[in-house]
Structure 1
Amino acid sequence: MSFSMLRAPVCKAAFSTPSVSQFALRNQFRRFATGPASSEPVKSGGKSWLIGGGLLAFGGVGYYLYSTNPDLFKEAGTAAKSSVQAAKVATKFTPAQEDYQKVYNKIVQLVEDAGDYDDGSYGPVLVRLAWHASGTYDKETGTGGSNYATMRFEPEAKHGANNGLNIARDIMEGVKKEFPWISYGDLWTLGGVCAIQEMSGPKIPWRPGRIDGFATEATPDGRLPDASQGADHLRSIFYRMGFNDQEIVALSGAHALGRCHTDRSGFDGPWTFSPTTVTNDYFKLLFDERWIWKKWSGPKQLVDKKTGTLMMLPTDYVLTQDKSFKKFAKAYADDQDLWFKDFSKAVSTLFELGVPTQQFVSSEPWILKTKEEQEEK
C-alpha cells in the first residue's frame, strides 16, 4: 500500500481547524512530509492521536493499517507533525520572538552557573552540542541535521564523537522543563547561539521551526569529523554538508572555545589560553607558535613548544599545511572582524541544515539580544 493513499485522509482527519482550510493543510501536508515526528500526542480540533511508537489511534481502519505496516504510520505521523509546524507558521500560531528571548535568557543563567566545570563555563559544551546536532546533515539524501534532534536517542547519543555531550543535553533538559513548548532542535541550536554571543562572539542569526523526530531517524556513525585525520577527510565531511573550503576553515575557528578530555575524545588540553572567550586566537596561535608532536601514550596530537600547555589536533594543524585552507586561516589570523563575519554566516547556515525552509516561523533569521544589551536597555 503506498503512502500517498493515506495523505489526504490523514490530513483531513487530523487537521480540521477553523483557522486554516483543509485544502491548504492538505497541500502543506504533501509539501512538508519530510521525516520523523515527535513522540508526544498531537492534538488538533479537540481530538488526539498518539504518535509515539508509530500508533495513530483513529478507528478500526487505522488499527488494521498499523498492524500490517507500522513503519508507514511512523512516516505518516512525521508528516503530520511537520504539517502541524507548517500550519502554525501559516496561521502565526507560534511563540513570539520575545518568548524565545526568554529561553535565551534562561540559557545565559546556566552558562554562568557552571561552577567548577572545566574553565567555569558551560558555553563551550553547549556550542559543541549545537554543532554536533547539526553537522550530521547529508545534502545528497536530505537526512540528518538539526531538524529532528536525534541525538536524544541511541545509538547516536553514544557515537564516539558525541562522548560527553550528555552533560550538555542534561543542562538543556532543565530549560526544556521550564519551556516545554520549544522543540529540542530549536533549544539546542539556540543554546549554541547564546553561548557564542555571551562569550564575546559575533551575533548569530537564528530562527525557530525545527521539529522532534523518532529514534529510527538517528543518523549513522561517521558523519562528524575525526580529529585524527587530514585534509581529504575534512573535505569529505564538510562537502557532504554543502560547505566549501573557506567555510570549513571559518567553522574550525570554534576551537577557540573549550578543551579536549582524555575520557571523551582521548585528546587532552585547550586550544587557546582563553577557552571561554570567542577570539581569533586559534588562528593566530596556529601560525605564531611552534607546534611539536606530543610524546605520550594517547592519540596523535600537537603541543606548543613554548609552554606545552596548549594543543592542536591533526585536523587543526592541516589548516597550515593545505594550500587552500592556509589562505583562509592566515586571513582570519590577521583579521578577527573578517573571521567573525564569515563565522557568523557559516554557523547560522550550519544550525539550519536539514530544516525545510517552510517550517521556519520567519522568512529572515532573528538577532537575539545578549544579556549585556538587555541590561543597557
Structure 2
Amino acid sequence: MSISPQPKSSSSDHPSAPSASQLSQVAAAIKSLLRQPDYDDGSAGPVLVRLAWHSAGTYCKDTNTGGSNGAGMRYEAEGGDPANAGLQHARAFLEPIKAQFPFITYADLWTLAAVVAIREMDGPQISWKPGRTDFTDDSRIPPRGRLPDGAKGADHLRWIFYRMGFNDQEIVALSGASIWAGATVTARGSKANGLLKMHDWKKKKLANGMEQFVYVDEDLEPEEQEEETLMMLPTDIALLEDPSFRVWVDRYAEDKNLFFRDFAAVFAKLLELGIRRDKDGTVVNEENLVNGYRSAPKKSDVATVPKDQNAGQVGHEARRLMEENAKHGKVAIKSKL
C-alpha cells in the first residue's frame, strides 16, 4: 500500500491529517479485522471495497459535487439510498477502528480500508492520499441515483461513468472492482474478464422480473448444477457486447499485469473524485478550508438498516439479487458495484 501523507497544518484551529506512522497503524488494524467467519464468505474485504466505491462514485464533474469527501453515508440522505443496501455492515465493521484511532476521519477510513482490503485479497497496490474531512451536516449530500444499476446496459454504464470523468478503458478496468467487492475469492485478477469470455451466458428472468445471465455446467448432476451456477448482471454482459468495451475485456483477460496496473490507477483516481488538492497535496475543498481535518464522532458499532431501506423500496437490483443468490448458493459474481 502506498500512502502519501498530507502536509501538517500550522494552525491549531485547522487540524491536520494523520502522520504516515499513524496511518500505518490504522492500516494494520484494518488488516486484522478482514477475517469475519460469520459474515458472507468469511471476509469483510469485499463489502469494504464496495463502501469506498459507493462513497466516491457519487461524483459529478459537471457540478463538482459528490465524491469521497465528507463520508456522507453517515446521513440518511445518502446512507438510505437503496443502492447502498448492505453497506451498514461495512461501516459497523470499521467502528471499532474509529474508536481506537479517533483522529482519522470516516472519509479517510472508508477509502483506506478498501485499499488495504484489495491488497490483502491478492489485488494490486493502490496509491492513497489522506486529508478528507467529515461533513458536519447533510447539506452537501449529492442527489440519489448516481450509482450504477447492474440491471442496465452499456448506455447506462457510460452515462454513470462519463459523468464521473472516466473513459471506456477506465470503465472496463474499474468494473474489475467487482472482483474484490462482490466475487468469491477464486474469481480474481484477469480471471473475471476470462469468465466473461469463457462461457455461454444465458438470460434468466427471475420471479420478480429482474434479469440476469447465468452459466451452468451441463456435465454436473442436476442437484449440483444449482449449487454451482455462475451469475453475471446485464452490465457485465454489456462489456462483452459493446465493441469498445470488448477490446479491453479481451486485453485484460489475456494480461493480468496490465489489468492490475490499469485497475490500480483508475481505483486511485476514483478515491480522489471530488477532492481538490494544492501543489503540496493539501485538500483545499471549501469544507476543509473552513473546518480543517475534522473527524466526526463515532456513531454506532451496530449495523442498523437506514430508514428508507426498511420501507421496502424497490428500483435497485441489490436486495432482489441478494435474495435470489441466497437460493442459488455459490455464485461467482454476486452484485454489481
Q: Residue type of the partner of 2:244?
A: S
Query: Does 2:151 align with 1:228?
Result: yes
The match for 2:294 is none
* Greater mean deviation of Cα atoms: 304-313 or 163-172: 304-313
Q: CA deviation at 1:118?
A: 1.1
The superposition leaves residues 336-357 of structure 1 with CA deviations (integer Å, 9 ceiling, x where unpaired) of 1000000000000000111111
Query: Does 2:248 align with 1:325?
Result: no
C-alpha distance in 1 between matches for 2:246 and 2:148: 19
CA 1:139–1:19: 2 relative to 1, 3 Å: closer
C-alpha distance in 2 between matches for 1:345 and 1:319: 20
* 8 Å contact kept, 1:290–1:305: no
Q: Residue type of the partner of 1:332?
A: Y
CA 1:126–1:19: 2 relative to 1, 3 Å: closer
If asked which structure has higher relative contact order (CA below 8 Å, sep 6+), I would say 2
Alignment length (residue pairs):
263
Larger Rg: 1
Identity %: 48
The superposition leaves residues 55-88 of structure 1 with CA deviations (integer Å, 9 ceiling, x where unpaired) of xxxxxxxxxxxxxxxxxxxxxxxxxxxxx36xx4
Q: CA deviation at 1:295?
A: 4.5
C-alpha distance in 2 between matches for 1:189 and 1:353: 11
Q: Residue type of the partner of 2:197?
A: F
Query: Does 2:103 align with 1:181?
Result: yes
The match for 1:255 is 178
1:166-245 correspondence to structure 2 within 5 Å: 166-213=88-135, 214-245=137-168
C-alpha distance in 1 between matches for 2:31 and 2:45: 9
Out of 102, 105, 126, the residue aligned to residue 25 of structure 2 is 102
Query: Does 2:224 align with 1:301?
Result: no
Q: CA deviation at 1:258?
A: 4.7
The match for 1:134 is 56
The match for 2:269 is 349
Query: Does 2:235 align with 1:315?
Result: yes
Which structure features the higher share of helix residues?
Answer: 1
Question: Helix, strand or coil for the counterpart of 2:202?
Answer: strand
* 8 Å contact kept, 1:129–1:188: yes
Question: Helix, strand or coil for the counterpart of 2:214?
Answer: strand
Q: Residue type of the partner of 1:309?
A: T
* 8 Å contact kept, 1:123–1:199: yes
TM-score of the aligned structures, taking structure 1 as reference length? 0.67
CA RMSD of aligned residues (A): 1.9
Question: Helix, strand or coil for the counterpart of 2:176?
Answer: helix
Long gaps (5+) in structure 2: 1-8, 218-224, 284-337
Q: CA deviation at 1:116?
A: 2.3
The match for 1:121 is 43
The match for 2:260 is 340
The superposition leaves residues 158-212 of structure 1 with CA deviations (integer Å, 9 ceiling, x where unpaired) of 1111000000011112111111111111000000000100000000000101011
Long gaps (5+) in structure 1: 1-17, 21-42, 45-83, 89-93, 260-269, 363-377
